[in-house]
Amino acid sequence: MASRLASRLLLRRRPTAIISILRSCSHVRHFSTQLLEGVHRYSKPTRGRNLLSNALPYQLWSRSFASENGDLVEAVVPFMGESVTDGTIANFLKKPGDRVEADEPIAQIETDKVTIDVASPEAGVIEKFIASEGDTVTPGTKVAVISKSAIPNEAHVSPPEETSQKEAPPPPPAEKDKVEEKSPKVEPVKKQEPKLTTPPLKSSPSEPQLPPKERERRVPMPRLRKRIANRLKDSQNTFAMLTTFNEVDMTNMMKLRSDYKDKFVEKHGVKLGLMSCFVKAAVSALQNQPVVNAVIDGDDIIYRDYIDISVAVGTSKGLVVPVIRDTDRMNFADIEKGINNLAKKANSGALSIDEMAGGTFTISNGGVYGSLISTPIINPPQSSILGMHSIVQRPMVVDGKIVARPMMYLALTYDHRLVDGREAVLFLRRIKDVVEDPRRLLLDI
Protein backbone atom coordinates (compact mmCIF):
# COMPACT_ATOMS: atom_id res chain seq x y z
CA MET A 1 0.00 0.00 0.00
CA ALA A 2 2.82 2.37 0.98
CA SER A 3 4.70 1.58 -2.24
CA ARG A 4 1.68 2.43 -4.40
CA LEU A 5 1.09 5.70 -2.59
CA ALA A 6 4.75 6.65 -2.84
CA SER A 7 4.76 5.88 -6.56
CA ARG A 8 1.80 8.18 -7.15
CA LEU A 9 3.42 10.98 -5.18
CA LEU A 10 6.64 10.45 -7.10
CA LEU A 11 4.78 11.12 -10.37
CA ARG A 12 3.46 14.36 -8.87
CA ARG A 13 6.99 15.39 -7.77
CA ARG A 14 6.18 15.76 -4.07
CA PRO A 15 9.32 14.43 -2.36
CA THR A 16 8.45 15.84 1.08
CA ALA A 17 5.39 13.64 1.34
CA ILE A 18 7.42 10.65 0.17
CA ILE A 19 9.91 11.08 3.00
CA SER A 20 7.19 11.28 5.66
CA ILE A 21 5.56 8.09 4.36
CA LEU A 22 8.82 6.16 4.17
CA ARG A 23 9.79 7.17 7.70
CA SER A 24 6.48 5.78 9.00
CA CYS A 25 7.02 2.46 7.22
CA SER A 26 10.06 0.76 8.75
CA HIS A 27 9.42 -2.52 6.87
CA VAL A 28 10.14 -1.11 3.43
CA ARG A 29 13.78 -0.01 3.89
CA HIS A 30 15.09 -1.39 0.63
CA PHE A 31 12.21 0.03 -1.36
CA SER A 32 12.63 3.45 0.33
CA THR A 33 16.24 3.66 -0.82
CA GLN A 34 15.21 2.97 -4.40
CA LEU A 35 12.43 5.58 -4.26
CA LEU A 36 14.76 8.19 -2.80
CA GLU A 37 17.18 7.57 -5.65
CA GLY A 38 14.23 8.16 -7.95
CA VAL A 39 13.44 11.39 -6.12
CA HIS A 40 16.97 12.57 -6.75
CA ARG A 41 16.62 11.62 -10.39
CA TYR A 42 13.26 13.32 -11.08
CA SER A 43 13.20 16.31 -8.71
CA LYS A 44 15.07 19.58 -9.03
CA PRO A 45 18.84 19.30 -8.49
CA THR A 46 19.09 21.53 -5.40
CA ARG A 47 16.12 19.97 -3.74
CA GLY A 48 17.32 16.47 -4.45
CA ARG A 49 20.71 17.16 -2.84
CA ASN A 50 19.10 18.50 0.33
CA LEU A 51 16.92 15.43 0.63
CA LEU A 52 19.79 12.99 0.24
CA SER A 53 22.06 14.84 2.67
CA ASN A 54 19.53 15.39 5.45
CA ALA A 55 16.84 12.76 5.36
CA LEU A 56 18.21 9.47 4.02
CA PRO A 57 17.12 6.66 6.37
CA TYR A 58 20.11 4.38 5.57
CA GLN A 59 22.49 7.08 6.77
CA LEU A 60 20.91 6.91 10.21
CA TRP A 61 21.05 3.09 10.29
CA SER A 62 24.79 2.99 9.42
CA ARG A 63 25.91 5.20 12.31
CA SER A 64 28.13 3.51 14.91
CA PHE A 65 26.96 3.42 18.52
CA ALA A 66 28.10 6.28 20.75
CA SER A 67 26.91 8.01 23.86
CA GLU A 68 24.48 10.86 23.43
CA ASN A 69 26.92 13.51 24.62
CA GLY A 70 29.99 11.95 22.96
CA ASP A 71 31.60 11.26 26.34
CA LEU A 72 33.11 7.87 25.44
CA VAL A 73 36.03 7.54 23.04
CA GLU A 74 37.90 4.44 21.92
CA ALA A 75 41.64 3.86 21.75
CA VAL A 76 42.56 1.80 18.69
CA VAL A 77 45.72 0.14 17.37
CA PRO A 78 47.67 2.61 15.19
CA PHE A 79 49.27 1.97 11.83
CA MET A 80 52.29 -0.31 12.36
CA GLY A 81 54.17 0.08 9.10
CA GLU A 82 53.94 -1.12 5.54
CA SER A 83 55.46 -4.54 6.22
CA VAL A 84 53.69 -5.19 9.55
CA THR A 85 50.12 -6.48 9.43
CA ASP A 86 49.46 -7.52 13.02
CA GLY A 87 50.94 -7.59 16.51
CA THR A 88 50.48 -8.96 20.02
CA ILE A 89 49.44 -6.92 23.05
CA ALA A 90 52.50 -7.24 25.29
CA ASN A 91 51.28 -5.36 28.36
CA PHE A 92 49.03 -2.55 29.56
CA LEU A 93 50.67 0.56 30.98
CA LYS A 94 47.48 1.68 32.74
CA LYS A 95 44.60 0.09 34.65
CA PRO A 96 40.84 0.65 34.43
CA GLY A 97 40.07 3.76 36.44
CA ASP A 98 43.41 5.45 35.79
CA ARG A 99 43.56 9.00 34.51
CA VAL A 100 45.23 9.43 31.11
CA GLU A 101 46.12 12.48 29.07
CA ALA A 102 45.77 12.93 25.33
CA ASP A 103 48.40 10.95 23.36
CA GLU A 104 49.58 9.19 26.54
CA PRO A 105 50.53 5.52 25.96
CA ILE A 106 48.17 3.06 27.61
CA ALA A 107 49.36 -0.23 26.06
CA GLN A 108 52.30 -1.69 24.15
CA ILE A 109 52.01 -3.89 21.07
CA GLU A 110 54.87 -6.19 20.14
CA THR A 111 55.37 -6.80 16.41
CA ASP A 112 57.91 -8.79 14.44
CA LYS A 113 60.28 -5.80 14.37
CA VAL A 114 59.43 -3.08 16.89
CA THR A 115 57.26 -2.29 19.90
CA ILE A 116 54.43 0.17 19.22
CA ASP A 117 52.47 2.22 21.77
CA VAL A 118 48.69 2.57 21.78
CA ALA A 119 47.95 6.16 22.79
CA SER A 120 44.80 7.65 24.28
CA PRO A 121 42.99 9.87 21.74
CA GLU A 122 41.54 12.14 24.46
CA ALA A 123 42.18 13.01 28.07
CA GLY A 124 39.95 11.12 30.48
CA VAL A 125 39.59 8.00 32.61
CA ILE A 126 39.90 4.45 31.31
CA GLU A 127 36.51 2.78 31.60
CA LYS A 128 37.56 -0.70 30.48
CA PHE A 129 39.90 -2.65 28.24
CA ILE A 130 38.30 -4.40 25.29
CA ALA A 131 41.33 -6.54 24.43
CA SER A 132 43.54 -8.65 26.70
CA GLU A 133 47.27 -9.22 26.99
CA GLY A 134 48.46 -11.80 24.47
CA ASP A 135 45.71 -11.03 21.94
CA THR A 136 46.70 -10.66 18.30
CA VAL A 137 45.48 -7.32 16.96
CA THR A 138 45.57 -5.45 13.65
CA PRO A 139 45.56 -1.71 12.88
CA GLY A 140 42.19 -0.24 13.84
CA THR A 141 41.38 -2.84 16.51
CA LYS A 142 39.68 -1.34 19.59
CA VAL A 143 41.76 -1.68 22.74
CA ALA A 144 40.15 0.49 25.41
CA VAL A 145 37.16 2.72 26.13
CA ILE A 146 37.90 6.10 27.70
CA SER A 147 35.44 8.44 29.40
CA LYS A 148 36.23 12.12 29.08
CA SER A 149 34.05 13.25 32.02
CA ALA A 150 34.67 10.53 34.62
CA ILE A 151 36.58 11.37 37.79
CA PRO A 152 39.59 9.20 38.64
CA ASN A 153 38.82 9.17 42.38
CA GLU A 154 35.34 7.79 41.81
CA ALA A 155 36.72 5.18 39.49
CA HIS A 156 39.23 4.09 42.12
CA VAL A 157 36.86 4.21 45.09
CA SER A 158 33.99 2.30 43.55
CA PRO A 159 35.74 -1.06 43.06
CA PRO A 160 36.66 -1.47 46.75
CA GLU A 161 33.02 -0.82 47.75
CA GLU A 162 31.81 -3.44 45.33
CA THR A 163 34.41 -5.92 46.47
CA SER A 164 33.58 -5.27 50.13
CA GLN A 165 29.90 -5.90 49.41
CA LYS A 166 30.76 -9.05 47.55
CA GLU A 167 33.06 -10.21 50.32
CA ALA A 168 30.45 -9.50 53.01
CA PRO A 169 28.30 -12.64 52.39
CA PRO A 170 31.18 -15.17 52.71
CA PRO A 171 31.52 -14.84 56.56
CA PRO A 172 28.54 -17.18 57.30
CA PRO A 173 30.14 -20.09 55.39
CA ALA A 174 33.39 -19.32 57.20
CA GLU A 175 31.60 -19.75 60.52
CA LYS A 176 30.16 -23.02 59.30
CA ASP A 177 33.66 -24.14 58.41
CA LYS A 178 34.77 -23.36 61.94
CA VAL A 179 31.92 -25.41 63.31
CA GLU A 180 32.82 -28.27 61.01
CA GLU A 181 36.45 -28.01 62.06
CA LYS A 182 35.49 -28.29 65.70
CA SER A 183 33.59 -31.52 65.19
CA PRO A 184 36.33 -33.62 63.54
CA LYS A 185 38.85 -32.62 66.21
CA VAL A 186 37.67 -35.64 68.17
CA GLU A 187 39.39 -38.01 65.70
CA PRO A 188 42.65 -36.30 64.69
CA VAL A 189 44.87 -39.34 65.08
CA LYS A 190 42.97 -41.53 62.65
CA LYS A 191 43.28 -39.04 59.79
CA GLN A 192 46.93 -38.13 60.33
CA GLU A 193 48.32 -41.66 60.63
CA PRO A 194 47.89 -42.68 56.98
CA LYS A 195 49.49 -39.38 55.85
CA LEU A 196 52.59 -40.10 57.91
CA THR A 197 53.01 -43.60 56.53
CA THR A 198 52.82 -42.65 52.81
CA PRO A 199 56.01 -40.51 52.43
CA PRO A 200 58.48 -43.28 53.34
CA LEU A 201 57.00 -45.42 50.59
CA LYS A 202 57.76 -42.71 47.99
CA SER A 203 61.32 -42.07 49.16
CA SER A 204 62.25 -45.77 49.48
CA PRO A 205 63.10 -46.48 45.80
CA SER A 206 66.77 -45.91 45.00
CA GLU A 207 66.17 -45.29 41.26
CA PRO A 208 67.10 -41.80 39.97
CA GLN A 209 64.11 -39.49 39.76
CA LEU A 210 63.64 -36.85 37.06
CA PRO A 211 62.82 -33.27 38.09
CA PRO A 212 59.08 -32.87 38.63
CA LYS A 213 57.05 -31.05 35.99
CA GLU A 214 56.03 -28.45 38.56
CA ARG A 215 59.52 -26.93 38.26
CA GLU A 216 59.15 -26.30 34.53
CA ARG A 217 57.74 -23.14 33.02
CA ARG A 218 56.19 -22.85 29.57
CA VAL A 219 55.74 -19.36 28.15
CA PRO A 220 54.85 -18.24 24.62
CA MET A 221 57.77 -17.08 22.48
CA PRO A 222 57.69 -13.30 21.90
CA ARG A 223 57.04 -12.16 18.35
CA LEU A 224 60.41 -10.41 18.16
CA ARG A 225 62.20 -13.61 19.17
CA LYS A 226 60.22 -15.56 16.54
CA ARG A 227 61.26 -13.05 13.90
CA ILE A 228 64.92 -13.29 14.95
CA ALA A 229 64.80 -17.09 14.86
CA ASN A 230 63.24 -17.16 11.39
CA ARG A 231 65.72 -14.64 9.97
CA LEU A 232 68.74 -16.47 11.38
CA LYS A 233 67.52 -19.80 10.03
CA ASP A 234 66.76 -18.28 6.64
CA SER A 235 70.28 -16.83 6.64
CA GLN A 236 71.80 -20.27 7.21
CA ASN A 237 69.63 -21.83 4.53
CA THR A 238 70.28 -19.10 1.93
CA PHE A 239 73.90 -17.97 2.22
CA ALA A 240 77.08 -19.96 1.66
CA MET A 241 78.60 -18.53 4.83
CA LEU A 242 82.32 -18.59 5.48
CA THR A 243 84.23 -16.86 8.30
CA THR A 244 87.78 -15.53 8.27
CA PHE A 245 89.65 -14.25 11.34
CA ASN A 246 92.41 -11.81 12.19
CA GLU A 247 93.75 -10.11 15.29
CA VAL A 248 94.30 -6.42 15.96
CA ASP A 249 96.73 -4.68 18.25
CA MET A 250 94.68 -1.99 20.01
CA THR A 251 97.64 -0.12 21.53
CA ASN A 252 97.61 2.94 19.26
CA MET A 253 93.82 3.23 19.14
CA MET A 254 93.53 3.09 22.92
CA LYS A 255 96.29 5.68 23.28
CA LEU A 256 94.45 7.96 20.82
CA ARG A 257 91.30 7.72 22.92
CA SER A 258 93.08 8.40 26.19
CA ASP A 259 94.94 11.43 24.77
CA TYR A 260 91.91 13.19 23.27
CA LYS A 261 88.89 11.87 25.19
CA ASP A 262 88.48 15.00 27.33
CA LYS A 263 88.86 17.45 24.44
CA PHE A 264 86.51 15.32 22.32
CA VAL A 265 83.77 15.44 24.98
CA GLU A 266 84.33 19.16 25.52
CA LYS A 267 83.84 19.96 21.84
CA HIS A 268 81.27 17.43 20.67
CA GLY A 269 79.38 16.53 23.88
CA VAL A 270 79.82 12.76 23.44
CA LYS A 271 82.50 10.28 24.43
CA LEU A 272 84.87 8.81 21.88
CA GLY A 273 84.19 5.08 21.81
CA LEU A 274 85.67 2.13 19.98
CA MET A 275 82.58 1.58 17.86
CA SER A 276 82.99 4.82 15.92
CA CYS A 277 86.62 3.89 15.20
CA PHE A 278 85.61 0.52 13.78
CA VAL A 279 82.76 2.10 11.80
CA LYS A 280 85.25 4.48 10.14
CA ALA A 281 87.62 1.56 9.52
CA ALA A 282 84.77 -0.49 8.01
CA VAL A 283 83.84 2.44 5.73
CA SER A 284 87.42 2.58 4.45
CA ALA A 285 87.50 -1.19 3.90
CA LEU A 286 84.13 -1.18 2.09
CA GLN A 287 85.34 1.56 -0.23
CA ASN A 288 88.43 -0.51 -1.05
CA GLN A 289 86.40 -3.72 -1.54
CA PRO A 290 82.98 -2.67 -2.95
CA VAL A 291 81.87 -6.28 -3.48
CA VAL A 292 81.57 -6.72 0.30
CA ASN A 293 78.99 -3.91 0.25
CA ALA A 294 77.07 -5.52 -2.62
CA VAL A 295 74.21 -8.04 -2.50
CA ILE A 296 72.81 -10.79 -4.71
CA ASP A 297 69.30 -10.21 -6.07
CA GLY A 298 68.16 -13.18 -8.14
CA ASP A 299 70.55 -13.44 -11.07
CA ASP A 300 71.90 -9.91 -10.57
CA ILE A 301 74.45 -8.28 -8.28
CA ILE A 302 73.51 -4.89 -6.80
CA TYR A 303 76.46 -2.64 -5.99
CA ARG A 304 75.64 0.13 -3.52
CA ASP A 305 77.49 3.45 -3.82
CA TYR A 306 76.35 4.41 -0.32
CA ILE A 307 77.29 2.86 3.03
CA ASP A 308 74.61 2.38 5.70
CA ILE A 309 76.08 0.42 8.59
CA SER A 310 73.85 -1.56 10.94
CA VAL A 311 74.98 -1.80 14.56
CA ALA A 312 73.76 -4.82 16.54
CA VAL A 313 72.31 -3.82 19.94
CA GLY A 314 71.27 -6.37 22.55
CA THR A 315 68.11 -5.50 24.52
CA SER A 316 66.01 -7.29 27.10
CA LYS A 317 63.53 -8.29 24.38
CA GLY A 318 66.09 -9.50 21.85
CA LEU A 319 68.70 -8.39 19.35
CA VAL A 320 67.87 -5.36 17.21
CA VAL A 321 69.98 -3.87 14.42
CA PRO A 322 69.39 -0.13 13.90
CA VAL A 323 71.04 1.56 10.92
CA ILE A 324 73.36 4.57 10.76
CA ARG A 325 72.77 6.22 7.38
CA ASP A 326 75.50 7.59 5.09
CA THR A 327 78.40 6.75 7.40
CA ASP A 328 80.83 7.51 4.57
CA ARG A 329 79.89 11.20 4.97
CA MET A 330 80.19 11.29 8.78
CA ASN A 331 83.03 12.10 11.13
CA PHE A 332 83.74 10.43 14.46
CA ALA A 333 81.46 12.77 16.42
CA ASP A 334 78.48 12.26 14.08
CA ILE A 335 78.86 8.50 14.30
CA GLU A 336 79.07 8.55 18.11
CA LYS A 337 75.95 10.71 18.35
CA GLY A 338 74.08 8.42 15.98
CA ILE A 339 75.09 5.30 17.93
CA ASN A 340 74.09 6.82 21.28
CA ASN A 341 70.73 7.96 19.94
CA LEU A 342 69.91 4.57 18.44
CA ALA A 343 71.08 2.70 21.56
CA LYS A 344 68.78 4.76 23.79
CA LYS A 345 65.82 4.13 21.49
CA ALA A 346 66.61 0.41 21.35
CA ASN A 347 66.70 0.03 25.14
CA SER A 348 63.46 1.99 25.55
CA GLY A 349 61.70 0.17 22.70
CA ALA A 350 61.21 3.37 20.69
CA LEU A 351 62.90 2.26 17.47
CA SER A 352 60.84 2.62 14.32
CA ILE A 353 60.80 0.18 11.41
CA ASP A 354 62.53 2.69 9.13
CA GLU A 355 65.43 2.95 11.58
CA MET A 356 66.13 -0.78 11.25
CA ALA A 357 65.71 -1.25 7.49
CA GLY A 358 68.11 -0.80 4.60
CA GLY A 359 71.54 -1.46 6.08
CA THR A 360 74.35 -2.58 3.75
CA PHE A 361 76.84 -3.92 6.32
CA THR A 362 76.59 -4.97 9.98
CA ILE A 363 78.99 -4.67 12.92
CA SER A 364 78.38 -6.79 16.02
CA ASN A 365 80.35 -6.14 19.22
CA GLY A 366 80.25 -9.27 21.35
CA GLY A 367 83.24 -8.02 23.30
CA VAL A 368 81.02 -5.90 25.56
CA TYR A 369 79.76 -9.19 27.04
CA GLY A 370 83.24 -10.73 27.27
CA SER A 371 83.21 -12.83 24.10
CA LEU A 372 86.74 -13.83 23.03
CA ILE A 373 85.92 -15.22 19.57
CA SER A 374 82.79 -16.14 17.62
CA THR A 375 81.40 -16.64 14.11
CA PRO A 376 78.63 -14.06 13.53
CA ILE A 377 75.68 -14.84 11.25
CA ILE A 378 74.90 -12.62 8.26
CA ASN A 379 71.97 -10.23 8.65
CA PRO A 380 69.79 -10.72 5.53
CA PRO A 381 69.71 -9.34 2.88
CA GLN A 382 73.28 -8.15 3.48
CA SER A 383 76.29 -10.14 2.34
CA SER A 384 78.70 -9.81 5.27
CA ILE A 385 79.05 -8.99 8.96
CA LEU A 386 82.02 -7.96 11.12
CA GLY A 387 82.35 -9.38 14.63
CA MET A 388 84.30 -7.50 17.32
CA HIS A 389 85.42 -9.21 20.53
CA SER A 390 86.92 -8.44 23.92
CA ILE A 391 90.31 -6.82 24.34
CA VAL A 392 92.70 -9.12 26.21
CA GLN A 393 96.33 -8.61 27.20
CA ARG A 394 98.33 -11.30 25.37
CA PRO A 395 102.06 -11.88 24.82
CA MET A 396 103.09 -10.67 21.38
CA VAL A 397 106.43 -10.55 19.57
CA VAL A 398 107.31 -6.92 18.76
CA ASP A 399 110.74 -6.09 17.31
CA GLY A 400 112.02 -9.48 18.41
CA LYS A 401 110.84 -9.04 21.99
CA ILE A 402 107.91 -10.60 23.81
CA VAL A 403 105.68 -7.87 25.22
CA ALA A 404 102.10 -7.73 26.52
CA ARG A 405 99.72 -6.00 24.13
CA PRO A 406 95.94 -5.39 24.21
CA MET A 407 94.72 -7.67 21.42
CA MET A 408 91.30 -8.18 19.84
CA TYR A 409 90.12 -10.95 17.53
CA LEU A 410 88.10 -9.86 14.49
CA ALA A 411 85.79 -12.16 12.52
CA LEU A 412 84.29 -11.50 9.09
CA THR A 413 81.45 -13.76 7.96
CA TYR A 414 80.61 -13.33 4.28
CA ASP A 415 78.50 -14.88 1.52
CA HIS A 416 80.96 -17.00 -0.42
CA ARG A 417 78.64 -17.01 -3.45
CA LEU A 418 79.48 -13.33 -3.96
CA VAL A 419 82.67 -12.60 -2.02
CA ASP A 420 85.81 -14.64 -2.63
CA GLY A 421 88.42 -15.35 0.00
CA ARG A 422 90.81 -12.82 -1.48
CA GLU A 423 88.36 -9.90 -1.09
CA ALA A 424 87.38 -11.03 2.40
CA VAL A 425 90.98 -11.27 3.62
CA LEU A 426 91.92 -7.91 2.08
CA PHE A 427 88.83 -6.34 3.67
CA LEU A 428 89.73 -7.61 7.12
CA ARG A 429 93.37 -6.70 6.61
CA ARG A 430 92.37 -3.10 5.80
CA ILE A 431 90.45 -2.83 9.08
CA LYS A 432 93.46 -4.21 10.95
CA ASP A 433 95.82 -1.67 9.35
CA VAL A 434 93.53 1.30 10.01
CA VAL A 435 92.83 0.39 13.64
CA GLU A 436 96.48 -0.30 14.44
CA ASP A 437 97.56 2.97 12.79
CA PRO A 438 94.68 5.53 12.77
CA ARG A 439 96.86 8.01 10.88
CA ARG A 440 96.02 6.04 7.73
CA LEU A 441 92.48 7.43 7.87
CA LEU A 442 93.82 10.97 7.87
CA LEU A 443 96.23 10.37 4.99
CA ASP A 444 93.91 7.91 3.14
CA ILE A 445 96.68 5.35 2.63
Which tens digit of pLDDT belongs to each residue from 99-144? 888 888 888 888 776 778 888 888 888 888 888 888 888 888 888 9
* 58 has a pLDDT exceeding 70: no
Count the neighbouring beta carbons within 10 Å of the beta carbon of residue 143: 21
List, for residues 323-352, the tens digit of each pLDDT value. Answer: 999 999 999 999 999 999 998 888 887 888
Predicted local distance difference test score (pLDDT) of residue 23:
47
Query: For residue 270, what is the DSSP state?
Result: S
Q: How many CB atoms lie under 10 A from the CB of residue 288?
A: 13
* Mean pLDDT, the chain, integer: 77
Give the tens place of pLDDT for each residue, 366-416: 998 999 999 999 998 899 999 999 999 999 999 999 999 999 999 999 999
DSSP E strand boundaries for 212-266 = 241-249
pTM of this structure: 0.60
Mean per-residue pLDDT for 136-162? 69
- Element housing 143 (H / E): strand 142-147
Between 6 and 372, whose confidence is greater?
A: 372
For residue 377, CA distances in Å to 23, 293, 327, 385, 441 come to 70, 16, 22, 7, 28
Question: What band does 93 get if pLDDT is binned at 50, 70 and 90?
Answer: confident
Q: What is the pLDDT of residue 62?
A: 29
Specify the length of the chain in residues: 445
Cα(133)–Cα(140) distance, rounded to whole angstroms? 17
What amino acid positions are annotated as catalytic residues? Answer: 416, 420
E-strand spans in 276-422? Answer: 295-297, 300-302, 309-311, 313-315, 318-320, 323-324, 361-365, 384-388, 392-398, 401-415
- In this structure, are residues 137 and 77 in contact, taking their beta carbons and an 8 Å threshold? yes
Q: Which residues does residue 103 pair with via DSSP β-bridges, in sequence order?
A: none
Contact 138, 111 (CB under 8 A): no
